[in-house]
C-alpha cells in the first residue's frame, strides 16, 4: 500500500498510519491542498497509462492495486469535522472509501517554560487542548501551523515557542516534554482513506457522505430536504453547513447517513434530494 499523508514525519496522521498500516510505503504532503492535488494528478496519470492496456492484462486491477492512496483526518470527537477535508472532497473527484477511529493523545513541550510567549500546533490540536491551555497557560498566544511536527521543529529553535504534538516525536527530536495527555476526555479522530478510485472493491459499504447545495431558499426548505430520510427510514448521523463563499446565508450542507448506493432506500433518498438540491456523493465507507 502506498500512502500519502500530512507531513513532515511525526504528525498524528503519521502516527496513526504507522499504527494501522505498519507495512505501508509512506510519503508526505506539505499541506492538505498538496495532498489532494497529488492524488488527482496521480489518478489522471494512471488512468492515461492504463487506457492502452487490454482487458486481458487486468488493467483495472493494476490500477486499483498500485495507485496512491491518501490518508487524512476526517473529524474529531471533540471539535467536529476537519473543514479543509470537507472542502477538498467537495471540490475534487477524490472520495472517502474507509474510516478508522484512533485515540489521540497530545503532549506540551518547550525548551524553557519560563520564556514561552506562544504555543504552536495544528489548528485541530489547539482546539482539542483549549481547556488545558486555558487552565495552565491562559496568556499564551495560540499560533496555528501546518502540522504538529512543524510546531515541534519551531519550538526546538525558538525558546519563546511551545509546541503541542506527539510525545514520541518530541522525545525523538529532543524537545523537553512539560505535560502529556493534555487533550480533552475520550479524544478520538476519525481518519479516512481517500482516493479517486475505490481501492477496496470487495468491502461492504454501510455509510455514505454527501454534500447538498439547495436550489433556492425558502421557509421549510431544510425540513423538506430531511423528510426523505424519515420517510425511507434512513438514519442520518451528521449534518453541518459550510459557506458557499458567494454571499452570506448561502450554504453547502454536508450529511452522513447509514446507507449505500446499492440500497433501494438510499436510492430513493438521493432521487428526492436531487429534486431540491445539487447532490454530490463524497464517499461510501
Asked if 106 and 188 count as a contact pair (C-beta separation under 8 A), the reply is no
Distance CA 47, CA 106 (A): 40
How many angstroms from the chain centroid is the CA of residue 81? 7
pLDDT digits (tens, 9 = 90+) for 63-77: 345 679 999 999 999
- 176-193 mean pLDDT: 94
- Check pLDDT > 70 for residue 282: yes
What's the pLDDT at 58? 44
| Structure letter (DSSP) for residue 55 | G
Which pLDDT belongs to residue 67?
Answer: 78
**Cα dihedral 12→17→20→22 (10° resolution):** -130
Indicate whether 34 pLDDT > 60.
Answer: yes
CA distances from 272 to 48, 268, 278 (A): 36, 6, 11
* pLDDT band of 17, cuts 50, 70, 90: very high
Exposure on the CB side of residue 118, measured as CA atoms within 13 A: 14
Tell me what pLDDT residue 49 has: 66
Could you tell me which of 99, 78, 73 has the C-alpha nearest to residue 88?
Answer: 73
Asked if the model's pLDDT at residue 128 lies above 50, the reply is: yes
pLDDT digits (tens, 9 = 90+) for 133-164: 999 999 999 999 999 999 999 999 999 999 99
Residue scoring higher pLDDT (50 or 250)? 250
Place of cell 503541542: 164
Question: Does residue 50 have a pLDDT over 70?
Answer: no
- The model's pTM: 0.85
Amino acid at each position: 500500500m502506498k500512502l500519502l499523508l500530512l507531513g513532515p514525519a511525526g504528525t498524528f496522521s503519521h502516527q496513526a498510519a504507522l499504527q494501522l498500516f505498519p507495512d505501508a510505503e509512506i510519503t508526505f504532503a506539505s499541506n492538505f491542498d498538496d495532498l489532494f492535488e497529488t492524488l488527482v494528478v496521480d489518478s489522471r496519470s494512471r488512468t492515461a497509462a492504463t487506457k492502452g492496456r487490454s482487458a486481458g492484462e487486468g488493467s483495472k486491477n493494476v490500477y486499483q492495486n498500485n495507485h496512491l492512496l491518501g490518508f487524512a483526518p476526517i473529524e474529531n470527537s471533540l471539535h467536529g469535522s476537519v473543514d479543509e477535508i470537507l472542502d477538498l472532497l467537495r471540490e475534487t473527484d477524490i472520495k472517502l472509501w474507509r474510516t478508522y477511529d484512533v485515540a489521540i493523545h497530545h503532549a506540551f513541550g518547550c525548551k524553557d517554560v519560563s520564556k514561552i510567549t506562544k504555543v504552536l500546533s495544528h489548528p485541530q490540536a489547539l482546539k482539542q487542548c483549549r481547556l488545558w491551555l486555558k487552565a495552565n497557560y491562559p496568556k499564551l498566544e495560540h499560533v496555528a501551523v501546518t502540522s504538529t511536527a512543524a510546531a515541534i521543529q519551531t519550538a526546538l529553535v525558538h525558546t519563546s515557542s511551545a509546541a503541542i504534538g506527539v510525545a514520541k516525536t518530541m522525545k525523538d527530536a529532543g524537545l523537553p516534554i512539560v505535560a502529556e495527555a493534555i487533550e480533552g476526555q475520550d479524544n478520538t479522530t476519525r481518519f479516512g482513506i481517500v482516493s479517486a478510485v475505490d481501492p477496496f472493491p470487495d468491502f461492504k459499504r454501510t455509510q455514505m457522505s454527501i454534500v447538498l447545495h439547495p436550489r433556492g431558499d425558502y421557509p421549510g426548505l431544510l425540513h423538506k430536504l430531511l423528510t426523505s430520510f424519515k420517510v425511507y427510514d434512513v438514519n442520518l448521523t451528521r449534518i453541518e453547513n459550510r459557506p458557499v463563499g458567494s454571499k452570506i446565508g448561502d450554504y453547502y450542507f454536508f450529511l452522513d447517513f447509514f446507507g449505500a448506493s446499492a440500497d433501494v432506500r438510499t436510492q430513493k433518498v438521493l432521487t428526492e434530494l436531487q429534486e431540491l438540491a445539487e447532490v454530490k456523493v463524497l464517499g461510501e465507507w
